[in-house]
Amino acid sequence: MLDASTGYYKVLRHRVGDFFGPVDLGLHLSHKHDTLNIGAGLFAGSIFPGSNRLVFSGISPCWHGFFISSMGGAGLVFDNLGINMLSIQGKSSAPSLLYLNRDHGEEIRIELVPVVLDHVWGIGRTGVYGMMQYALDEFGKEYSNEPRILATGPASLHTDFGAIASAPVRKGKLTPVDTWAGRGGFGTKMLQQHGIAGIIYGGTFVDDDFRDRTVADQWFEEKYNQHMAAKDFEATKKYRFDPKFDTGGTFGVNFKTLKGNMLAFNYRSIFWDEEKREHLHKEFIEGHYLKQFNDETIKTKQQKNCGEPCVAVCKKMHGNYKKDYEPYQTMGPLCGVFDQRAAELINHTADSMGFDAISVGGVIAWLMECLHENLISPEEIGVTGKPVFTTEGFDIVKDSMHNAQLGVQMLHEMVNPDGKIPLHFGARKLARQLARQKGEAVKDCFAFNAFARQGWIVPNQYWTPGVISPVAIMGKYYMHYGSDFVPPLELGKRNAERMIKELMLDNLGICRFHRVWAEELMPTIVNDLIGCREEFMQNIALSASRITSRNASVFFETKRNVDMLHSFLQKKREVDQCDHPELLVWLERFGSNPMQAALNFWYEIHKGLHSSLREFPT
């Protein structure tokens, strides 16, 4: 427990059984002390692949409820501190870099070093990369082993959804493989609430981590008739290379399989017919955007891991640019960008500034539609033109770059203290202000999940009701996001099932890319190594119920969310030929009164979720 206002700390010890990891303990501390909690799971440093995620939890500045975000690989170095979690209270009197080092079993050395933000953010590749480079230059030589750095950027100072970035250090130098705790605005929380702009940490503490490969293989052989390495290799093929699609990574496989489920031009593609969506996918995605990725990244095998040994090598690179589906979707097709050079420009700018890439892409796409429809003028938001926001006559290279450059102008306005896109209190509040000035149409084309009075987050990039469900933590995968039609009451129950499984992985610090085996096997492993399977599973269910008891999800505030739901149901019937009786009933209801039908659908999901996540189930 670190008090950032004084630099003093105390060590608290909790029995495994009362708490099992950084999520359930973070939930307890967040509501008691409003801390920012940063921790690794019980199996960090162990032989299990994907077990070294660094988990962040606390009350989110943008969502306004308890939130969880995690970062690949960063838990491996954190484990060298010999602690499971760091909880930060109070606020430093000046923006500071937090230095943590534990060498050969000594007490952890802690320093809070004031930094001049504009200077530090101007170093090297600037922004979060400048912060990482500054920390490494100042303190890197103090560590016996390679340290790790957590960094914020200007987005954390000027908006409510700043992210935390990190990159592995190799041979004393930062690698370009940045990893992120992106969702939830924990960069904003770390900087604005606690005054900490970055953290450098590491050590040589030797823990009694589980590393018995023979025993591990026994669990896998009993369950799958395969050694651990073989099963994990099979389970992670999507993220490495899937021969069925001749591509790999979330970018490759998702963009290959989208076809008529394309979301483009701020979701306006949901209003098109299937033929037009498939044509867009064939010509713009398969013929160009995905082809560039496959030629430049997959064929050349430019792939890395997140900082821990892992066969998934899910970090698909092109030089300094890391290609993941959702950032390159929101600041890609959703913004009318279908060319890799243009997408690299806008994504790297947003990353340097330290934004939650998914949310900022959704905000940019919304403002682009407002410009395209003349709902606001370029001058009102500080940009120099309007986007090319239709497929007719669209030049994939030229118009993609035009749109990307327009997006970059918006990004600069967002982090300018006197900028014309003020986001200190979030995009939901901005949408309300613009709606009062310009009319409801401005707000109605913004797709976001709403929570409590001001909480907001841009949904995950899948055209399915699960991503706009009333779940207590949205923007992650704590919901069912399959593309099949599921009646809303059942969808709520599936959301609950998914939430419990995802919570289990987060509480253990296990990467969800390994979920194929981890969800099934980790309860057994916990039982065999710690001896409390039932207690562990009850703890996860209880955490899910306690998070859900504070669920302040708000019904759709904009027409675009209703349109996404209605058009999804229409597509299931007209294109996919689904004849589920409930689908036909809901389509009839939407036909007579879309808003009332959406409200009923939303409440049915809510009912299914709450009926499944009761602290005392009936």
Please list the rounded mean pLDDT of every run of 10 residues in the chain (618 residues): 97 96 98 97 96 98 98 97 97 98 92 98 96 98 97 98 98 97 98 98 87 94 96 97 97 98 98 98 98 98 95 97 98 98 98 98 98 98 98 98 98 97 98 97 98 98 98 97 97 98 98 97 96 95 97 98 98 98 98 98 98 78
Backbone angles phi, psi at 524, to 5 degrees: -65, -40
- Provide the sign of the torsion angle of the four alpha carbons 340, 394, 276, 404, taken in this order: positive
**pLDDT digit string, tens, across residues 234-265:** 999 999 999 999 999 999 999 999 999 999 99
Domains 2-203 and 236-458 share a fold: no
Q: Which CATH architecture has domain 2-203?
A: 4-Layer Sandwich (3.60)
One-letter amino acid at 400 equals S
- Match domain 236-458 to its CATH number in 3.40.50.20, 3.40.228.10, 1.10.569.10, 3.40.50.1100: 1.10.569.10
Measured CA to CA, the distance from residue 84 to residue 356 in angstroms comes to 26
Measured CA to CA, the distance from residue 479 to residue 499 in angstroms comes to 6
Pull the structure tokens for residue 608.
Answer: 């299914």
Could you state, in order of their start, the residue ranges of all structural domains in the chain? 2-203, 236-458, 488-612
- C-alpha distances (whole Å) from 338 to each of 208, 253, 265, 280, 334 are 49, 16, 11, 10, 9
Measured CA to CA, the distance from residue 178 to residue 165 in angstroms comes to 7
Measured CA to CA, the distance from residue 163 to residue 184 in angstroms comes to 8
Q: How far is CA 278 from the centre of its chain?
A: 27
Q: What is the pLDDT of residue 463?
A: 98
